[in-house]
Amino acid sequence: MNTSGSQARGTAPSTMELVRDVIDDFQSLMRQEVGLAKAEMRSAAAELVRASSLLVARGVLGVLGFAYLTLAGFITLQRWLLDWAAALVVGGVLVVVGLVLGWIGLNAARHEKLRTTAQSLQEDQEWIRSKLA
């Protein structure tokens, strides 16, 4: 809290001085809050970059692994089928798996909502109603 002129002289502070002190304290608090938010955002951004890098590496390695497994399946099927038939079987399986995964993802995306935000807004609405009542 700031010490104003009247407090230094030993007299009671005026209303204006008290208001000024409150405003100064509030501004200081807001600066500190903004500084904290900036520090948290920097930390969160750094963690997001790290996590994204790991996800990219996982995706690349996953694609390479899947390609080698597909090739192994093709080579295995070539022992019993003609080349074109083995390629057709492997390609068909990949298309079916892709369609199924796409369908699952599309259904999940349709049903996903911002549940936490919706719940928070509902709580805020109830809080406001309770304060107004």
Buried b (16+ CB within 10 A) or exposed e, 99-122: eeeeeeeeeeeeeeeeeeeeeeee
Residue 13 is predicted with a pLDDT of 82
User: In this structure, are residues 4 and 23 in contact, taking their beta carbons and an 8 Å threshold?
Assistant: no
Residue 121 is predicted with a pLDDT of 76
Residue 7 is predicted with a pLDDT of 54
Residues of the chain with pLDDT below 70 are 1-10, 111-114, 133
Three-class SS of residue 113? coil
- In terms of Cα–Cα distance, which of 10, 9, 3 is closest to 24? 3
Instruction: Measure CA 39 to chain center.
Output: 17
- For the CA atoms of 9, 13, 19, 21, the dihedral, rounded to the nearest 10 degrees, stands at 40
List C-alpha distances in Å: 91 to 19, 48, 94, 95: 75, 36, 5, 6
Residue 73 is predicted with a pLDDT of 92
Distance CA 4, CA 28 (A): 16
